[in-house]
């Protein structure tokens, strides 16, 4: 099995021979945070485009960056370079990670995730003294997060997924839901 490492810490895409498709083990991205993070956005696990780019929410139709642009009052956020987008998130006290650290999956759908290994969320939470809320980007992220943290002392919110696979809600509706849930914490 051949592993292709990205330049982004914590990101690896394992590419096996076609005959070993069932043995694909994908590893997620490193968390983006500092000690001032008040809102931690947890996705489920990066999609293929994100793993290949070693960037959170890299699929061009994922609504995460437009949603964050609206919430943070940074209209040009989606057009900025990835490193600048991360700096803007941190400047607004928003961190990003995923509830699943590694898994097997064919494609990008959460429903295709098998053999999920959880992220060490509890260790990260101990490093976030200013944290006010965990914002779960979709149902699987919420389910995995609740399983990891149990009954937390802070809110764990289930927000509409920004994934292009969840096109049932408009961008306007997603922005409104995220704003209502997170505005008090930003």
pLDDT at 72: 98
Any domain includes 24: no
Rounded (5°) CA angle 172-99-114: 105
Q: What are the pLDDT digits (tens) for 124-182?
A: 999 999 999 999 999 989 998 999 887 778 899 999 999 887 778 899 999 999 999 99
Any domain includes 89: yes
CB 57 within 8 A of CB 68: no
pLDDT at 41: 98
CB 149 within 8 A of CB 131: no
User: DSSP label at 32?
Assistant: B
Any domain includes 107: no
Q: What are the pLDDT digits (tens) for 85-115?
A: 999 999 999 999 999 998 888 887 777 788 8
**Domain CATH for 64:** 3.40.470.10
The pTM score is 0.85
Any domain includes 18: no
- When divided into structural domains, the chain yields a total of 1
Q: What are the pLDDT digits (tens) for 56-66?
A: 999 999 999 99
Q: Rounded to whole angstroms, how far apart are CA atoms 49 and 55?
A: 8
Domain encompassing residue 60: 30-99+118-185
Report which of residues 145 and 11 the model is more confident about. 145
Any domain includes 105: no
Any domain includes 5: no
């Amino acid at each position: 099995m051949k592993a292709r490492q990205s330049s982004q810490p914590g990101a690896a895409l394992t590419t096996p021979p076609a005959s070993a498709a069932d043995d694909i083990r994908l590893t997620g991205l490193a968390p983006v945070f500092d000690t001032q993070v008040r809102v931690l956005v947890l996705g489920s696990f990066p999609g293929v485009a994100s793993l290949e780019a070693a960037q959170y929410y890299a699929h061009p139709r994922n609504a995460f960056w437009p949603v964050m642009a609206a919430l943070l009052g940074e209209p040009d956020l989606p057009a900025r370079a990835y490193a600048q987008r991360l700096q803007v998130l941190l400047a607004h006290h928003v961190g990003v990670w995923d509830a699943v650290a590694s898994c097997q999956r064919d494609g990008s759908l959460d429903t295709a995730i098998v053999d999920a290994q959880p992220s060490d969320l509890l260790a990260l939470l101990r490093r976030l003294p200013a944290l006010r809320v965990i914002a779960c980007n979709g149902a699987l992220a919420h389910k995995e997060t609740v399983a990891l943290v149990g009954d937390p002392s802070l809110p764990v919110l289930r927000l509409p997924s920004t994934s292009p696979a969840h096109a049932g809600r408009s961008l306007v509706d997603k922005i409104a839901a995220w704003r209502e849930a997170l505005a008090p914490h930003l």
